[in-house]
Every structure is written in structure tokens, then in C-alpha cells.
């Protein structure tokens, strides 16, 4: 009996935003382990190069490319480069997001609002548009949006961030419905509390952490690597009939 090939990504080109650390790094490494050539991206090239070098040292294929997904011209630039260097894209993981202000919603400042919307909504949207056009030319692909449990149940003092994550869940359904005809699937991952720099203010504060753990049936915070398996499923043929879904990976928080 031979092992399943359903999770193989040999020959695939994958782009992972926010891949220099945290959840994105874990995703990039797992996709590369399964055979994909991974474009490791974030704003700062040094961190991306570090992750790409680690993938290559491990026998995988990776290229580091900087891209600030809140800047429209950087999105156009990165896709021009992908077309030139790779000619195709099979998997897009929209993972990089921002959450610049923790405050009561009534204290939201316009700058933080604009930055959050520009990165978390406009960035995900136009990365998907550019990737979708390239995928359409080659018969399809898979887009995975890293949203959040906050998109369903807003986090305290995370108002506009939670609003953008709800938008990402809806965006996932929009792309799923309109791009299915081009062979493109689009799904979302909703991580729960995960031990990364992004969540360090919550995880390193014992009082906040204990309150959070009371609401998580598995009674622990996730490791970044625990998010990557779901992305591999959504990126691979194992999920070939799955599109438009939002998968909670949250230790039972939303159940």
C-alpha cells in the first residue's frame, strides 16, 4: 500500500506574506517541506532571507522577496517579479496583518484605523486579485486567508482589527464564489491565541493569559506550527472540493 500523495506540493509555487516569523514562517517551512517553491515575504528582507536560507539548508526551495502589503505599488511590483521569475503562482497565503492600536473602540485614532484597513483589507484583497489573475491564466490555484477568531467574536480593545478580520472572512467567500469558475479555491484559517510576537502583549501578561485560557477548552495557547497543517490541507489536493470555508483552529474557543 502506498502513502497518499494528496498533500504533495511538488512543482507548486507558493507565496506566503508575513513569513519572516511566527505563523507565516511555520507555514512557509511546511509548504516547502511538502515540495513547494516558497516565496518568503514580509516588509524587511533580512528576516525573509533568514527563513529562505533555513528552507534551502533543509533541502527545500525558497526565494525571499520584500513586500509591504499596505503599499499598492509594492503589490504590483512583487507580482511583476513573480511573473518574470516564476511565470505562475499556485498558492497564495495572505498571512501578514497589523494591529497597531489596543484601546476602547471610542478611542480609535484615524491613523491606526487607516493602517489596519490598508493592510488587513486592501492588502489581502489586491494580493488576491493579482494572484487570481495569474492563477486564472494557468487553470487555477488556492488562496488561503489567515483571518482570526476575532473576525467572529471581537477581541477586547481590538475593535478595528476585529472588523478587518470579519471582512477577510467575507472576502474569502467572495473570491470563492467568483473565482471557482477559474479553478481557484479560496478558504480562511481562523487562528486562536498563538504564541508569536503579534500576541506577545497578551501571552506574556499572566493575568490576561489566565483569563484567556479560561475560555479555551484545550487550556493552552497554540504554537505557530499548529496553524501550518490546516494551511497545507487548504493548499493541497486534499481539500480539492473545499472552497469558501473558514476553519477555526482555536483550541475550541469558538465552539
Ligand X SMILES: NC(=O)c1ccc[n+]([C@@H]2O[C@H](COP(=O)([O-])OP(=O)(O)OC[C@H]3O[C@@H](n4cnc5c(N)ncnc54)[C@H](OP(=O)(O)O)[C@@H]3O)[C@@H](O)[C@H]2O)c1
Taking CB under 6 A as the binding criterion, the range among 39-47, 79-87, 132-140, 229-237 that sits at the site for ligand X is 39-47
Nearer to ligand X, 46 or 109 (CB): 46
Q: Which of 186, 193, 246, 247 binds ligand X (CB under 6 A)?
A: 193
136 binds ligand X (CB under 6 A): no
SS3 133: helix
146 binds ligand X (CB under 6 A): yes
191 binds ligand X (CB under 6 A): yes
Question: Which strand ranges, in their side-by-side order, compose the sheet holding 13-17?
Answer: 61-66, 37-42, 13-17, 91-94, 141-146, 184-191, 246-249
Q: Which of 24, 141, 159, 251 binds ligand X (CB under 6 A)?
A: 24
Stretch (H or E) spanning 51: helix 45-57
| Residue whose entry in the numeric block shows the C-alpha cell 512543482 | 11
Neighbouring CB atoms inside 10 A of 92's CB total 29
68 binds ligand X (CB under 6 A): yes
Residue 61's nearest CA partner among 21, 22, 12, 25 is 12
Q: What residues are annotated to the active site?
A: 161
Nearer to ligand X, 135 or 188 (CB): 188
97 binds ligand X (CB under 6 A): yes
162 binds ligand X (CB under 6 A): no
User: Which neighbouring-strand residues pair with 70?
Assistant: none
Nearer to ligand X, 6 or 218 (CB): 218
> How many Cα atoms within 13 Å fall on the side-chain side of residue 92?
32
Contact residues toward ligand X (CB under 6 A) are: 17-24, 42-44, 47, 68-70, 95-98, 119, 146, 148, 191, 193-194, 196-199
Amino acid at each position: 500500500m502506498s502513502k497518499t500523495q494528496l498533500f504533495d506540493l511538488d512543482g507548486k509555487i507558493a507565496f506566503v506574506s508575513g513569513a519572516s516569523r511566527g505563523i507565516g514562517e511555520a507555514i512557509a517551512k511546511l509548504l516547502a517541506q511538502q515540495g513547494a517553491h516558497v516565496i518568503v515575504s514580509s516588509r524587511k528582507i533580512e528576516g525573509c532571507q533568514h527563513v529562505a536560507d533555513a528552507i534551502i539548508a533543509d533541502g527545500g526551495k525558497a526565494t525571499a522577496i520584500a513586500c509591504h502589503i499596505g503599499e499598492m505599488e509594492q503589490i504590483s511590483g512583487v507580482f511583476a517579479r513573480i511573473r518574470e521569475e516564476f511565470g505562475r503562482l499556485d498558492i497564495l497565503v495572505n498571512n501578514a496583518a497589523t494591529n497597531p492600536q489596543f484601546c476602547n473602540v471610542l478611542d480609535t485614532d484615524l491613523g491606526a484605523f487607516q493602517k489596519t484597513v490598508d493592510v488587513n483589507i486592501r492588502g489581502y484583497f489586491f494580493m488576491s486579485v493579482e494572484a487570481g489573475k495569474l492563477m486564472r491564466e494557468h487553470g487555477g490555484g488556492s488562496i488561503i486567508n489567515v483571518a482570526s477568531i476575532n473576525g467572529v467574536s471581537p477581541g477586547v480593545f481590538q475593535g478595528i482589527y476585529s472588523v478587518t478580520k470579519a471582512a477577510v472572512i467575507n472576502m474569502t467567500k467572495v473570491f470563492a464564489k467568483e473565482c471557482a469558475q477559474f479553478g481557484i479555491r479560496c478558504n480562511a484559517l481562523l487562528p486562536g491565541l498563538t504564541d508569536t510576537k503579534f500576541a506577545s502583549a497578551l501571552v506574556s501578561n499572566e493575568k490576561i493569559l489566565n483569563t484567556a485560557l479560561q475560555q479555551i477548552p484545550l487550556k493552552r495557547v497554540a504554537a505557530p506550527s499548529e496553524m501550518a497543517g490546516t494551511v497545507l490541507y487548504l493548499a493541497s489536493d486534499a481539500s480539492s472540493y473545499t472552497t469558501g470555508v473558514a476553519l477555526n483552529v482555536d483550541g475550541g474557543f469558538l465552539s
